[in-house]
Chains A and B, each alone.
Chain A
Amino acid sequence: MSLTFYLLAALTLAGGLAAVLLKHLVHCALAVTVAFAGLALLFLQLDAQFAGFAQILVYIGAVAILIVFAILLTRGSDLPKDGVFSKTWYLGLVIAAGVFAVLGWAVLASVRAIPQQDVVPTVTVHDIGIALVGRYVLPLEIVALLLTAATIGAVIVAMHEKERAK
């Protein structure tokens, strides 16, 4: 476990915590961008360059911008009068803590069994491209169809409602 890992993990978790806890929605969007960036750096630390750069492009480049747009379009920058947390916040806290306890216990209980190869995988973008159009060509096509359908669907859902013909 290197110092870099601890620093990146701390950055990611701090970003996530801030995104969940901050009051202003715009600050939350900025914090979640920090968390996304930390995750991309963790991917790079794991020698998964392609996934790391895809994470930067998709999450920081697209999803974060979408979130900012949604906040501005729904006037989320105004603070609500009756607090930002729901009335049953303690229940959510208990559930989240319980889930983390179970997951952490499962990880720590299986420390001996989990694999730990220390060979750095030599995977180039060329290999990924060949795999994408070879073994994974059907999932690739399905994802393309899904992205098209999702884009059209999102536009139709968010489009301004016209006077309905009765």
Chain B
Amino acid sequence: MTTPLAGYLLVAALLFAIGLGGALVRRNAILVLIGIELMLNAANLNLIAFWRFGPHPEALTGMMFAIFSIAVAAAEAAVGLGLVIAIYRHTNTAELDKIDRMKG
């Protein structure tokens, strides 16, 4: 059957597809952000899996990449949700279909 790394990569690919589908299909801006978070997490799983099964895990490259990615994702979530709240205050909705004017 498949190797362990291939299993992890397939799980990450499936999670990425789920996140992408969620970001494309849902109307609510918060759900789109949740989809983006799922995609970022899938990428982190890839990084960690390659670190674990690749050569030279003691160099810590993949692990560091994943840790920095987690930190950047936290910043992204804070700014993204702040933007959603600001848009909600302005237009009274978080539904992306209804936010169709550039001019407030």
Residue ranges of A at the interface with B (Cβ–Cβ < 8 Å): 1, 5, 9, 12-13, 16-17, 19-20, 25, 28-29, 32, 35-36, 39, 42-43, 46-48, 50-51, 54-55, 58-59, 62-63, 66-67, 69-71, 73-74, 76, 80, 83-87, 89, 91-93, 95-97, 99-100, 103-104, 107-108, 111, 114-119, 121-123, 127-128, 131-132, 136, 139, 143, 146-147, 149-151, 153-155, 157-158, 160-161
Q: Which of A50, A58, A150 contacts B63 (CB 8 A)?
A: A50
Bound complex: CA A70 to CA B26 (Å)? 16
What is the CA–CA distance of A155 and B25 in the complex, to the nearest angstrom?
Answer: 29
Q: When the two chains form their complex, are residues A85 and B55 in contact, meaning their CB atoms are under 8 A apart?
A: no
**Residues from chain B with Cβ under 8 Å of A118 in the complex:** 53
Determine if B99 is an interface residue (Cβ-Cβ < 8 Å). Answer: no
Interface of A is mostly: helix
Indicate whether A76 sits within 8 Å of B78 (C-beta atoms), given known contacts A19-B22, A116-B4: no
Seen from chain B, the residues whose Cβ lies within 8 Å of a Cβ on chain A are 1-11, 13-28, 30-31, 33-35, 37-38, 41, 44-45, 48-55, 57-58, 60, 63-64, 66-68, 70-79, 81-86, 88-89, 94-97
Q: Show 26 residue pairs from A and B whose CB-CB distance is below 8 angstroms, ordered by the A residue.
A: A12-B11, A13-B14, A13-B15, A16-B15, A20-B35, A25-B30, A25-B31, A28-B34, A42-B48, A48-B48, A48-B66, A51-B66, A70-B81, A74-B88, A84-B26, A84-B31, A89-B25, A91-B24, A92-B20, A95-B20, A100-B13, A115-B53, A121-B51, A147-B71, A154-B78, A155-B82
Nearest-neighbour CB distance to chain A for B54, whole angstroms, equals 5
The residue in chain B whose Cβ has the minimal distance to the Cβ of A39 is: B41
Question: Which B residues lie within 8 Å of A91 (CB)?
Answer: 24
CB distance from B57 to the nearest CB of A (A): 3
Knowing A51-B70, A116-B5, A123-B57 touch, does A87 contact B97 (C-beta < 8 A)? Answer: yes
